[in-house]
Amino acid sequence: MSGNIELLGDTLAKAKAENRAALIAYLPAGFPTVDGGIAAIKAVFDGGADVVEVGLPHSDPVLDGPVIQTADDIALRGGVKIADVMRTVREAHEATGKPVLVMTYWNPIDRYGIERFTEELAAAGGAGCILPDLPVQESSVWREHADKHGLATVFVVAPSSKDERLATITAAGSGFVYAASLMGVTGTRESVGEQAADLVRRTRATSDLPVCVGLGVSNATQAKEVAVFADGVIVGSAFVKRILDDDGDEAAGLAAVRELAAELAEGVRRVS
């Protein structure tokens, strides 16, 4: 069975044709529970997200700040497994028909088996993987299996990336490029900054892939700011925080993430 890389491409192209950025949301699988996490992703899609990244919880998420680390810890203590991640992808995609990726560090895939992981992700209807810690020069085996199963390989670029390095990364990637807006970990911030716009400009000079910006975006004003220069706006910690703040009230948490998605979706559509 083939994955949904084409659906991902079509979704990003549709947003561009509508003169807006795509809204890409992130939520970890198994948070606050497996069923609760699936419901939250559906609510985010309901609110207006175009794409969702499902996080594979990790005990040492080096790119992630305290909010997502807390969510990962809750999911891991709840016993979340890779099978639950695949179930989350499957049910979210089947319910919405929209593209769902997995964001994961490399170690869990390496231990699970590349062929097994890519085959199961494609069978679940996944669109691909975001791999923040997989070096491009060590990615050929992964990319071979991802290509075979119709899955995108999304690499992360940072403001510190030199132009030559950007060209190497974008040549190997597919789906889109994840541009980290600043050096550091995920989390909400007061400003996304000019570094992100410069990184998008330099990345576009090396590739025709859509460039989507993450790290730090948490409200409609910031989404609008980023949507002016990026093909997609990625939001994670702000969604996770809404669920953490609901004090275990699942209905309130779902309403909160749906509302935030609607606000952000309005933000990415206000491109001047």
Task: Cite the active site residues.
Answer: 53, 64
Q: Which residues contact 46 (CB under 8 A, 6 or more apart)?
A: 258, 261
Phi-psi region for residue 97, left (φ > 0), alpha (ψ -120 to 50) or beta? left
Query: CB–CB of 93/100 below 8 Å?
Result: yes
Closest C-alpha to 189, from 69, 105, 72, 65: 65
Give the integer Cα–Cα distance in Å for 162 and 67.
Answer: 30
Given a contact cutoff of 8 angstroms between Cβ atoms, the answer to whether 230 and 23 are in contact is no
Residue 135: Cβ within 10 Å count? 10
Torsion of CA 263, 244, 78, 94, to 10 degrees: -10
Helices (H), 22-104: 34-47, 66-77, 82-96
Burial class (CB in 10 A: 0-12, 13-18, 19+), 239: buried
In this structure, which amino acid lies at residue 258?
R
Q: Which one-letter DSSP state was computed for residue 34?
A: H
